[in-house]
Chains A and B, each alone.
Chain A
């Protein structure tokens, strides 16, 4: 079973993503911020990470850099309420960028594409 790490500082989002993705058959673990995520990556060894950008402490972009230093290959989906981080070329080091939306279809399709499940 594929494992997904959801990194988001908002509890309700974490809950929503976890429930939705588990329903789709993934094993989901959550991290509440960047530092938490860095701790979980080597333990949980996710197959994919969804990463919020605007978070207290270590933000998504810094977290992205740190994760890439540990794990070059793991697909990372940037998942933000802000579309303009697309202009920050650093986010290009991720594999996809999804603007948050109540309809999770785009996010789910992106995850399936990156995990070659489509």
Chain B
């Protein structure tokens, strides 16, 4: 460096470059080049903090923040020089730390292969240049931080507006669409595409619900250019989202087809739900982050989505980066949001994931609310229908009741009219012309009686309703009707129900009542102590199949005197009880073409044995 004027021009060039709008890398490159040229040095370098080894002479410069000057007057002591630092040891060189009070931006290095001495002017100039370089780097860093903050603030305000908008609607499709759009618009989280999958608890699957994003890179480009032209505050943008809920994209229809059982733990969607944490699947693959297993469809991505998406977009699933975030409802995962940057290949940062998680927790609540609301609406609709039905039924019932009572009122006088007409008819001689009248009365009364019978059978339930029954179930039902008071205490219940018990055709209520009577009689006879054995089994008699029902108690048996009367109505040995228990059993059993027998052991107990014909097996 010969003249001050050269120094002046070098400094001027550096300041101008530093203040320019060039990208930082170009800026630094050009500054270094002009310094190399100006000083006619062999090389000048910028060593960023991450490139400085932990030991060696460079680390000493970094630690002490003191410049190192090596020339013919200041000789270098080669102690603790690392092998990789040897390259920097020229005849003369300078290492100037770039730092201010709080931060360190690296080391500025100038090296000369010929021996020389740094003049005090040169030292000053290099120190000034180093200051300028440090400032340029710091400015750039601050600028980036500021830009990032600005973006985050804008994102946050968009998200805030969106949250407000989300809470203002209960329309499911709209909320989901708004959520996904918020994730994809530049002012929101700015992902290329967003897809929502909801957990279906009933079917235990994760189901594709909606997707938002361009179908191709061209479409993406078109949308982004439109978006960049679109100006306005977040709430205006949201209004625009709201007005465009139509979603006919190919991606949307692909995603709607996707259904992954939650049991498929190897699938990323299921894992996100089950583990309740986000996954950031990055490209290029970096070991740990990569989910190793293959999904059932053989996709190395281990995600059916990736598989589908890559298939449909002819993408190699191995280079597809995406992230999944659990959608949280109140205390549980209600779905998964999948985002990617398929078209611009921007990396998904952990910061992105944090914002997305924050947003999705709000969206999750809103979505859960709409789901609950939708449920509520469905239930409300069902209730309304049930109410209409009930009102209708009540009307019908009232009508039925009315017609029944009218029918009955008419029946009595009809009996008299018809009855006396018959008597009159019989007293008339066979050739009497009045016989025509009496016959007409009799016939017409019969007609009215027929009509009444029809009305009555229509409005009242059939007295006996035959169904295919499993007597074991009927017995269980009867046992469940036995009151706590009877069951508790020292009575041991032994049930032996054969697996081969055939079905019986019978009236459920009548048989239940009969079994109930039988069992409660047995309980009562034992007075709180003993053993009640109930056996149900198939029983063959004369080549016909029956079901045998035996109820055995240890209640002392039946007084032989009374044995003849037990099936008579109103006969009882118990106090305060109308003796209808056994007669009812008898009547039920006989009306079902069955039989009832008693094995009586006076002093010890009694066994009632019912046999009911089994239902004829259908030919198979």
Chain A positions within 8 Å of B, measured between CB atoms, are: 10, 12-13, 15-16, 19-20, 54, 65, 68-69, 72, 81-84, 86-87, 89-90, 92-93, 100-104
Chain B positions within 8 Å of A, measured between CB atoms, are: 408, 411-423, 442, 445-446, 449, 456, 460, 463, 513, 568-571, 578, 580, 583-584, 587
In the complex, A87→B569 CA distance in Å? Answer: 16
- Among residues of B, the one whose C-beta sits closest to the C-beta of A85 is B463
In the complex, A54→B407 CA distance in Å? Answer: 14
In the complex, A78→B197 CA distance in Å? Answer: 70
Taking a contact as CB atoms under 8 Å apart, the answer to whether A82 and B408 are in contact is yes
Taking a contact as CB atoms under 8 Å apart, the answer to whether A65 and B415 are in contact is no
Which B residues are CB-close (under 8 A) to A81?
A: 408, 411-412, 415
Which B residues are CB-close (under 8 A) to A82?
A: 408
Taking a contact as CB atoms under 8 Å apart, the answer to whether B415 and A84 are in contact is no
* 10 A-B pairs with the lowest CB-CB distances in the bound complex, closest first: A102-B418, A93-B569, A12-B416, A81-B411, A16-B419, A68-B570, A81-B408, A102-B445, A92-B587, A100-B415
Which B residues are CB-close (under 8 A) to A104?
A: 419, 422
In the complex, A15→B412 CA distance in Å? Answer: 13
In the complex, A19→B230 CA distance in Å? Answer: 105
- Among residues of A, the one whose C-beta sits closest to the C-beta of B571 is A72
In the complex, A15→B419 CA distance in Å? Answer: 10
The interface residues of chain B, by DSSP majority, are classed as helix
Taking a contact as CB atoms under 8 Å apart, the answer to whether B570 and A65 are in contact is yes
Taking a contact as CB atoms under 8 Å apart, the answer to whether A65 and B419 are in contact is no
- Among residues of B, the one whose C-beta sits closest to the C-beta of A100 is B415
Which A residues are CB-close (under 8 A) to B446?
A: 102-103
Which B residues are CB-close (under 8 A) to A87?
A: 463
Taking a contact as CB atoms under 8 Å apart, the answer to whether A102 and B419 are in contact is yes
Which B residues are CB-close (under 8 A) to A86?
A: 463
Taking a contact as CB atoms under 8 Å apart, the answer to whether B416 and A93 are in contact is no
In the complex, A100→B411 CA distance in Å? Answer: 8
Given contacts A20-B419, A92-B583, A93-B583, contact A100 B442 (CB under 8 A): no
Taking a contact as CB atoms under 8 Å apart, the answer to whether B580 and A101 are in contact is no
In the complex, A69→B463 CA distance in Å? Answer: 27
Taking a contact as CB atoms under 8 Å apart, the answer to whether A83 and B463 are in contact is yes
In the complex, A72→B587 CA distance in Å? Answer: 17
Taking a contact as CB atoms under 8 Å apart, the answer to whether B417 and A102 are in contact is yes
- Among residues of B, the one whose C-beta sits closest to the C-beta of A76 is B569
Contact of B580 among A15, A84, A89, A103 (CB under 8 A): A89
Contact of B412 among A10, A65, A69 (CB under 8 A): A10
- Among residues of A, the one whose C-beta sits closest to the C-beta of B441 is A102
A-B contact pairs, 13 of them (CB 8 A): A10-B416, A12-B412, A13-B415, A13-B416, A65-B578, A68-B570, A84-B463, A92-B584, A102-B414, A102-B419, A102-B421, A102-B445, A104-B422
Which A residues are CB-close (under 8 A) to B442?
A: 102
Contact of B570 among A10, A15, A93 (CB under 8 A): A93
Taking a contact as CB atoms under 8 Å apart, the answer to whether B570 and A20 are in contact is no
Taking a contact as CB atoms under 8 Å apart, the answer to whether B460 and A89 are in contact is no
In the complex, A77→B525 CA distance in Å? Answer: 33
In the complex, A84→B407 CA distance in Å? Answer: 13
Q: Apart from A10-B412, A87-B463, A102-B442, what 15 extra A-B contacts exist at CB < 8 Å?
A: A12-B416, A13-B415, A16-B416, A16-B420, A72-B568, A82-B408, A83-B463, A90-B580, A92-B584, A100-B415, A102-B414, A102-B415, A102-B422, A102-B445, A102-B449
In the complex, A98→B107 CA distance in Å? Answer: 118
- Among residues of B, the one whose C-beta sits closest to the C-beta of A93 is B569
Contact of B513 among A65, A68, A89 (CB under 8 A): A89
In the complex, A102→B411 CA distance in Å? Answer: 9
In the complex, A15→B423 CA distance in Å? Answer: 12
Taking a contact as CB atoms under 8 Å apart, the answer to whether A100 and B412 are in contact is yes
Taking a contact as CB atoms under 8 Å apart, the answer to whether A84 and B570 are in contact is no
Taking a contact as CB atoms under 8 Å apart, the answer to whether B463 and A13 are in contact is no
Which B residues are CB-close (under 8 A) to A19?
A: 423
- Among residues of A, the one whose C-beta sits closest to the C-beta of B413 is A12
Taking a contact as CB atoms under 8 Å apart, the answer to whether B460 and A16 are in contact is no
CB distance from A72 to the nearest CB of B (A): 7
In the complex, A86→B465 CA distance in Å? Answer: 13
Which A residues are CB-close (under 8 A) to B423?
A: 16, 19-20
Which B residues are CB-close (under 8 A) to A10?
A: 412, 416
In the complex, A19→B60 CA distance in Å? Answer: 137
- Among residues of B, the one whose C-beta sits closest to the C-beta of A9 is B412
In the complex, A65→B420 CA distance in Å? Answer: 32
Which A residues are CB-close (under 8 A) to B578?
A: 65, 90
In the complex, A6→B159 CA distance in Å? Answer: 90
In the complex, A13→B419 CA distance in Å? Answer: 9
CB distance from A113 to the nearest CB of B (A): 16
CB distance from B404 to the nearest CB of A (A): 9
